[in-house]
Amino acid sequence: MAEVKFDAASRIYPGTEEPAVNKLNLDIGDGELLVLVGPSGSGKSTALRMLAGLEFVNDGSIFINDKDVTLAPPQDRDIAMVFQNYALYPQMTVASNMAFALKQQGVSKEDRMARVKEAAKILDLEPFLDRKPKNLSGGQRQRVAMGRAIVREPQVFLMDEPLSNLDAKLRVQTRTELADLQARLGVTTVYVTHDQVEAMTMGHRVAVLNFGVLQQVDAPRTLYSAPANKFVAGFIGSPAMNLLAASDVGGRAGIGGVQVPLSDAVAAAAGAHPARELTVGVRPEHLQLGSEGIPGEAIVVEELGSESFVHVRIDHLGESTTIVVRDEGETDVRRGDNVSVGFNGPVHLFGPDDQRISG
């Protein structure tokens, strides 16, 4: 069981100017499942590999259990890693794959087999122990990769997009199993994904990275309800939040000609900036179609059965802009209908520096 700490850790790849991970500060608690999420190239894998010892840390430090491991080789860190392509040892059977790390530690053959059997039972891999990885399905390989990690009973699990090679349905199922397994084992886990749904459903806390810079680290719920900046606001949530440069309606921020509802505290804090320098963010589920509000025209209706999303063209700042509004399933709205968009939940406001304005 372990705590992990990144202390202003940076990684600059040789031959590049910009750090791939820039002064990352993260505290990961004992038994926590922390998800690193961000768009492609944001430095998630790099951060994970720094923790694994596969990538040098150019600046700052990394601690596991208060022990400085910044310069320690991977084998001295007591971590287990699940790779995106699983990286199973192709010439070894499933059992040998899972026992490999134990063999390196000099664990006796009986103990190795006992621990492999135990892990195989947890992961339903018992029938496959004598097979080679190439004779397994993608999902089974993924479980072998997991098995290889759990037999070691390491301090920390590191997982780099472990589900990205599975089909959509299996991914959802495995996601749940994985979260459950992690909770049962109680091993501190750092989980990398670019899928924000995976991040939100699995993470105890979620760290959002962009261009190697940590944007926000919080519980999924907080990330959703109080995004720290414009990037997080746009990244978390599906469909994405509507983000618009605010229009000035009577000195207050607005969309089109309609003032957005704000708490007094937020309105007061926003008052420091002219309305036209602010950004308004509102999630589709916090908008509704009704008889009053911002007038517009429905141009696309996405019917999902349980709900639907209506893309509404509105007149905003003298241009036509599209915003997405959530509506109930089996909606009556059709393309070309004239609709009015009203507010039905919190509206987020971001300052000229893109940071959240809170009351």
Partner 1 sequence: MTAATSNAPSREEQVKALQKREARRRRLPLLPALIFTILITQIPFVMSLYYSFTDWTVTPPSPRTWTGISNYTDAFTNSFFREAAVTSIVMTVSSVLLSVILGTGVALLLDRKFFGQGFVRTLIITPFLVMPVVAGLVWKNQMFSAAFGVINWLLEAVGLEAVEFASKYPRWSIVAVLVWQWTPFMMLIILAGLQGQPASVLEAAKVDGATPRATFFQITLPHLRPYLELGVLLGSIYLIQVFDHIVVMTGGGPGSTNVPYFVNQRSIGGGWRFGSASAFSILVVIATIFIATFGLRVLSGLLEGEEP
Ligand X SMILES: Nc1ncnc2c1ncn2[C@@H]1O[C@H](COP(=O)(O)OP(=O)(O)OP(=O)(O)O)[C@@H](O)[C@H]1O
Partner that binds at residue 101, options partner 1, ligand X, Mg ion, none, CB closer than 5 to 8 Å by kind: partner 1
User: Contact with partner 1 (CB under 8 A): which of 2, 47, 50, 95?
Assistant: 95
Residue 174 binds Mg ion, judged by CB under 5 A: no
| Bridge partners for 300 per DSSP | 311
User: Contact with Mg ion (CB under 5 A): which of 10, 22, 42, 45?
Assistant: 45
* 259 in Cβ contact with 250 (< 8 Å): yes
Q: What is the radius of gyration, based on Cα positions, of the chain? A: 24
Query: What gap in Å lies between CA 353 and CA 359, rounded to an integer?
Result: 16
1-40 footprint of ligand X as x/- string (CB under 6 A): ------------x--x---x-----------------x-x
Residue 42 binds Mg ion, judged by CB under 5 A: no
* 220 in Cβ contact with 297 (< 8 Å): no
Query: What gap in Å lies between CA 47 and CA 42, rounded to an integer?
Result: 10
Alpha carbon 36 to chain centroid, angstroms: 5
Nearer to Mg ion, 38 or 133 (CB): 38
Min dist CB 91 to partner 1, Å, is: 4
Residue 306 binds ligand X, judged by CB under 6 A: no
| Bridge partners for 350 per DSSP | 279, 356
The residues near 302 (Cβ < 8 Å, ≥ 6 apart) are 308, 309, 310, 311
Residue 210 binds ligand X, judged by CB under 6 A: no
Query: What gap in Å lies between CA 243 and CA 239, rounded to an integer?
Result: 12
User: Contact with ligand X (CB under 6 A): which of 6, 33, 34, 46?
Assistant: 46
Output the CA torsion sign for 93, 94, 99, 100.
positive
Query: What gap in Å lies between CA 51 and CA 74, rounded to an integer?
Result: 9
User: Contact with partner 1 (CB under 8 A): which of 1, 56, 104, 121?
Assistant: 104
Min dist CB 38 to partner 1, Å, is: 21
User: Contact with ligand X (CB under 6 A): which of 41, 74, 295, 346?
Assistant: 41
SS3 category, 246: coil
Partner that binds at residue 46, options ligand X, partner 1, Mg ion, none, CB closer than 5 to 8 Å by kind: ligand X
**Interface positions, 5-64, toward partner 1 (CB under 8 A):** 52-54
Alpha carbon 250 to chain centroid, angstroms: 38
Residue 189: both structure tokens together: 């886990």
Partner that binds at residue 52, options ligand X, Mg ion, partner 1, none, CB closer than 5 to 8 Å by kind: partner 1
CB atoms within 10 A of CB 102: 20
Please name which of 170, 104, 177 lies closest in space to residue 146, comparing C-alpha atoms.
Answer: 177
- Binding footprint of ligand X, residue count (CB under 6 A): 12
Residue 291 binds ligand X, judged by CB under 6 A: no
Residue 224 binds ligand X, judged by CB under 6 A: no
Interface residues toward Mg ion, by CB under 5 A: 45
Interface residues toward partner 1, by CB under 8 A: 52-54, 73-75, 79-81, 83-85, 87-93, 95-96, 98-101, 103-105, 109, 112-113, 116, 148, 152
